[in-house]
Amino acid sequence: MKKRIVVGLVAVFGLVSTQPLWAAEDGGHFKGKPAETLTQAVANFSEYNHKLQAILDGEVSDSDLAEVHILTYTLENALKKINEDMGALADTLEAVHKASEKLDREAVIEHGREYLAVSRQIVK
């Protein structure tokens, strides 16, 4: 089985060699596409979920397994950024909630705008 996966990896590398691989310098693992902003993370998440779905919709070959292995690095990067930003967003929403309890109009407006600026990056 290992031999088949290695052959699959070689096949994938041959097929996608014109695309950047984002490989680690040590050659051990891929880094995946970066997700430095929430917008970038959501875009990568959507794009790579579609790629995964396309693979899973067919007969999954050995080269497909290798491709899934590679694309999961980008999905992991995207999820990490999304989770980080959503944690901060929950804190911002809590600030809106507490400000509304105190009838603090200025804080509701300020934190509410911060909340919407981030939340609209994932839901339009």
pLDDT digits (tens, 9 = 90+) for 48-85: 999 999 999 999 999 999 999 999 999 999 999 999 99
Kindly report the number of other CB atoms within 10 A of residue 23's CB atom.
15
Angle at 47 between CA 53 and CA 84, to 5 degrees: 110
CA distance 86 to 16: 33
Write down the pLDDT at residue 28.
Answer: 63
Kindly report the number of other CB atoms within 10 A of residue 38's CB atom.
20
pLDDT digits (tens, 9 = 90+) for 6-58: 444 444 444 443 344 444 545 567 889 999 999 999 999 999 999 999 999 99
Statement: the pTM of the whole predicted model exceeds 0.75: no
